[in-house]
Amino acid sequence: MRRLGKQEIEDIAVGAALLGTGGGGDPYIGKLMALQAIEEYGPIQLLSVDEIDDEAVVVPSGMMGAPTVMIEKVPNGEEAIAAFQTLEQYLGKKIFATMPIEAGGINSLLPLALAARLGLPVVDVDGMGRAFPELQMVTFYLDGISATPLVIADEKGNHSVLNTVNNMWAERIARAATIQMGGSVMMAIYPMVGKQLKESGIHHILKLEEDIGRIIREAKGTNANPIAEVLSLVGGFELFKGKVVDINRKTESGFARGTAHIQGFDLYHDQTLEIKFQNEHLLAKTPDQLLCVTPDLIAILDSETGLPITTEGLKYGARCVVIGIPCHPKWRTAKGIETCGPAYFGYDVDYVPVENLVKEGAQTK
Amino acid sequence: MRRLGKQEIEDIAVGAALLGTGGGGDPYIGKLMALQAIEEYGPIQLLSVDEIDDEAVVVPSGMMGAPTVMIEKVPNGEEAIAAFQTLEQYLGKKIFATMPIEAGGINSLLPLALAARLGLPVVDVDGMGRAFPELQMVTFYLDGISATPLVIADEKGNHSVLNTVNNMWAERIARAATIQMGGSVMMAIYPMVGKQLKESGIHHILKLEEDIGRIIREAKGTNANPIAEVLSLVGGFELFKGKVVDINRKTESGFARGTAHIQGFDLYHDQTLEIKFQNEHLLAKTPDQLLCVTPDLIAILDSETGLPITTEGLKYGARCVVIGIPCHPKWRTAKGIETCGPAYFGYDVDYVPVENLVKEGAQTK
């Protein structure tokens, strides 16, 4: 057991935004909410998965919707409590702890804010090891765990308890309701017990986020290269370096979808990188070559500070380094690729692990 | 207390389709489901509102969606039971009886089928005295009663419990979920106690439906004029007589919307009637004159048999009589007209009671 204070929250926010690969919501909002909750209610208890009883009920909490909407419709904290308590009442069981469903700016930090307010522990685990845009895109789904009963709640006081025959239906019905409820809602989803988390979750994700954030923070004002250090920590690769020259972004079907173009510098001069996103960055390619594709991670970092840039924060002229990180091995199985691979999102490329793409790229140079 | 057997079901189906003003779902499907349930489980107990305890919990059940979808996606009966039992569990209270939410082909008969299967009584009351397309369009809403908690359930096994801050939000969120769930769902909605029903419901609606159906049935093969007898029973007016020459119908936003044109006969030769509908018939006019508009009732009857024709059953060449019936006085209040009047549906006319429009029409002839 550890306690998370303000410095840990600051670091986690940065690491979560990096693993959030452009999505998962604005880290600034999530950070403010978690910091304020700690200010009012004291530090948060963080448990590793091994510290949880096999029968203890754990419920992930987070936001669903378009990150572009979330930055204009900031949650007030009551929605998350309403969703959580409604699910607890519906289950008729005491919920022991909460956890993030994904690694991503707001969705790594909202469970911390909720935990502080309700006096619950947070478990150091998630279901993606990154961020993904849809509800069924979690390791729990790969392992046959139901997303429902789930609760979504909006800031007006509306809430809905959903029970579906499978997780694709949960995504479909909840997404339609979310759009009506204003484009973003808070949710309590995938109720599980400790045993399921131990087998199916991605462990130590908050620790990894915190480590990434600390590296980037500690490099500030020194000669250290934060990007190189992060790549070394996560086993990732520099894919591209350049300046954002074009962003095409729209909010449709409840998602932030679009394309960004980055004009190359240095090694990459005379090249243009295209990045496609649906909340998260999903594909990075030059006209000649695929560089990285979902479920592997594509993050865009500020080339000076190493700080991650979200899709909604991406601006014309931003100087950035694009990195690729191998996803968790669960995503590289046949069902993993079927669930979150390029074909699911309509991209006409086969999934190739980022480390192989990087090797091929080096050979063709 | 009365018991409803097969003959009563047959008559109620006809009367319900007439008061359903083109909507409320296909009476044939609802009738078959109710007849089959009686066959298996025996006659249904019908209670008048006065026979209900003030504290007894009563929950209307019915279908939500586009009638054009319902005729292709016939409910199997399990959806209604799932919706009802999920709501009972959520309320944590025993439900004493069910009732129709509206008068309309399928929605008057589905509660009878459910009651037979669950061994519950049905209360002789509804919330419209006709059919309307949206959830907040009930006298219960006018009297401040909440539509939620409500449950919607589909034939696949998905269900959703909804709690909203008002009934407009219930309509909006449930409609979006219904579209995702295949365009029609079963619902359990507006949980009430006996006292609320006594004050806010429209009493003796099933009795009225049965009387209408019996008149039309008994006129068959005799010289009696069933349409004249029905008009005398309900205090209605003949508005038009003719042949359907044009129907424009589409399923959009979860509703069956469109326009029908009827070419006049006899008294009405050289005139064309236009009828606009959204599930239900909402407006009837000639190029010169408004004849009847929501919340008053517009029904289309087969000119030979007097049998009502639903919007999805309306065919080119059908010979018909269009009648208008004054709505319940609750709909003629300021809040009633705001809720279901022409302006709500986007028609640029003021509400004028059908009896006044008929009087004006007679004067201009």
Residue-wise DSSP of A313-353:
G--TT-EEEEEEEPPPGGGGSHHHHHHHSTTTTT--S----
A139 Cα to chain B: minimum distance (Å): 22
pLDDT tens digits for B141-194? 999 999 999 999 999 999 999 999 999 999 999 999 999 998 889 999 999 999
B77 and B189 together in one domain = yes
User: Residue B365: is its pLDDT beyond 70?
Assistant: no
> Do A138 and A278 share a domain, yes or no?
no
Q: Is A213 part of any domain? A: no
Residue B211 covered by a domain: no
* Binary contact (A173, B158; C-beta < 8 A): yes
For residues B192 and B283, membership in a common domain is answered with no
**Those residues with Cβ within 8 angstroms of residue B15's Cβ, 6 or more apart along the chain or in another chain:** B103, B208, B209, B210, B211, B212, B213, B216
pLDDT value of residue B29: 84
Euclidean distance between CA atoms A83 and B65, whole angstroms? 27
What residue of B is the nearest CA neighbor of A169?
Answer: B158
Over 70: is that where the pLDDT of A365 sits? no
Q: Which residues of A touch B164 (CB under 8 A)?
A: 157-158
Residues B188 and B300 in one domain: no
Based on the fold, state whether residues A156 and A11 are members of the same structural domain: yes
How far apart are alpha carbons A177 and B10 in whole angstroms?
38
Whether the per-residue pLDDT at B67 is higher than 90: the answer is no
Chain A residues with CB inside 8 Å of B179's CB? 176
Asked if the structure places residue A126 within a domain, the reply is yes
Query: pLDDT at residue A169 above 90?
Result: yes
The H or E element containing residue A128 is none
Range in A6-20, A349-363, B40-54, B70-84 with the lowest mean pLDDT = B70-84
**Nearest residue of chain A to residue B154 (CA atoms):** A164
**Which of B148, B170, B205 corresponds to the end of one domain?**
B205
Is the domain of B167 the same as that of B19? yes
Per-residue pLDDT, averaged over B63-70, amounts to 78
Which CATH number characterizes residue B256's domain? Answer: 2.40.390.10
Decide if B169 and A161 are in contact by the 8 Å CB cutoff: no
The whole-angstrom distance between B33's CA and the closest CA on chain A is: 25
**pLDDT class for B215, splitting at 50, 70, 90?**
very high
Chain A residue at shortest CA distance from B160:
A162
Q: CA of A166, closest CA in chain B: separation in Å?
A: 8
Chain B residue set in contact with A, beta carbons under 8 Å: 86, 90, 156-165, 169, 172-173, 175-177, 179-181
Nearest CA in chain A to B82: A163
* B192 shares its domain with B238: no
* Residue B215: inside a domain: no
Q: What is the mean pLDDT of residues A175-194?
A: 94
For residue A156, the chain B residues in CB contact (below 8 A) are: 165, 169
Residue A357: inside a domain: yes
**Residue from B104, B133, B101, B132 nearest B28 by CA:** B104
Alpha helix ranges (H) inside chain A: 6-19, 27-41, 67-70, 78-91, 105-118, 139-142, 167-180, 194-200, 205-219, 226-234, 334-340, 354-364
Cβ contact (<8 Å) for B164 and A158? yes
Q: Is residue B135 predicted with pLDDT exceeding 70?
A: yes
Note whether B159 contacts A163, CB cutoff 8 Å.
yes
Tell me: cis bond preceding A295? Omega within 30 of 0 counts.
yes
A-B CB pairs within 8 A amount to 61
Calpha distance B214→B300 (Å, rounded): 18
Alpha carbon distance, N-terminus to C-terminus of chain B: 49
Nearest-CA residue of chain A relative to B156?
A165
Q: Minimal Cα distance from B158: which residue of A?
A: A164
Lowest mean pLDDT across A203-207, A310-314, B156-160, B218-222: A310-314
Q: Please, are residues B294 and B23 in contact by the beta-carbon 8 Å criterion?
A: no
Residue ranges of chain A whose CB lies within 8 Å of a chain B CB: 86, 90, 156-165, 169, 172-173, 175-177, 179-181
Task: Give the span between the Cα atoms of B191 and B150, in whole angstroms.
Answer: 8
Q: Is the pLDDT of residue B75 over 90?
A: no
Q: Is residue B210 part of a domain?
A: no
What is the distance of C-alpha A171 from the center of its chain? 17
pLDDT grade for B362, boundaries at 50, 70 and 90: confident
Instruction: Name the closest residue on chain B to residue A156, using Cα atoms.
Output: B165
pLDDT at position A76 is 79
Per-residue pLDDT of B283-326, as tens digits, reads 999 999 999 999 999 999 999 999 999 888 889 999 999 999 99
- In chain B, residues with a C-beta closer than 8 Å to the C-beta of A163 are 86, 158-160
- Min Cα separation A87/chain B (Å): 11
Please state, rounded to an integer, the average pLDDT across all residues of chain A.
93
Place of tokens 């949960």: A170
Same domain, A157 and A109: yes
In a domain, A210, yes or no: no
Which of B86, B90, B180 lies closest to A176 in CB terms? B180
Q: Which of B145, B175, B205 lies at the terminal end of a domain, its last residue?
A: B205
B277 has which bridge partners?
Answer: B258, B281
Do both A354 and A282 map to the same domain? yes
Among residues A151, A175, A205, which one ends one of the domains?
A: A205
Residue pLDDT, tens place only, A282-304 = 999 999 999 999 999 999 999 99
Contact B90 A172 (CB under 8 A): no
pLDDT in tens, A344-358: 999 999 999 999 999
Strand partners, B251: B256
**Into how many domains does chain B fold?**
2
Nearest residue to A108 via CA among A38, A218, A208: A208
Residue B6 has pLDDT above 70, yes or no: yes
Residue A124 — φ and ψ, nearest 5°?
Answer: -85, 75
Same domain, A119 and A265: no
Cα separation, A206 vs A3, in Å, equals 12
Residue A233 has pLDDT above 80, yes or no: yes
Nearest to B109 by CA among B174, B19, B233, B224: B19
Instruction: Provide mean pLDDT across the span B9-34.
Output: 89
The reply to whether B219 falls in a domain is: no
Instruction: Average the pLDDT over A234-261 and give the result.
Output: 92
Assembly ipTM: 0.79
pLDDT surpasses 80 at A223: yes
B161: nearest CB among A161, A175, A176? A161
CA nearest A171 in B: which residue? B180
Considering the domain architecture, whether residues B176 and B268 belong to the same structural domain is answered as no
Give residue-wise pLDDT tens across range A46-78.
999 999 999 999 999 999 987 667 767 778 788
Asked if A160's CB is within 8 angstroms of B160's CB, the reply is yes
**Tokens read off for B115:** 């009651």
- B156 contacts in chain A (CB < 8 Å): 165, 169
Cβ-Cβ contacts under 8 Å, A136 against chain B? none
Closest partner CB to B179 (pick from A156, A159, A176): A176
* B297 and B184 fall within a common domain: no
Give the span between the Cα atoms of A285 and A360, in whole angstroms.
13
Q: Which of B162, B169, B180 lies closest to A172 in CB terms?
A: B180
Mean pLDDT over the full length of chain B: 93
Query: In CATH, what number is assigned to the domain containing residue B138?
Result: 3.40.1610.10
Name which of B66-80, B178-192, B323-337 the model is least confident about.
B66-80
What percentage of residues in chain A have a pLDDT greater than 90? 84
Measured between beta carbons, the chain B residues lying within 8 angstroms of A180 are 172-173, 175-176
Report d(CA A283, CA A273) in Å as an integer: 10
- Rounded mean pLDDT of A248-272? 90
Domain range for B137:
2-205
Q: Which of B121, B119, B123 is nearest to B42 (CA)?
A: B119
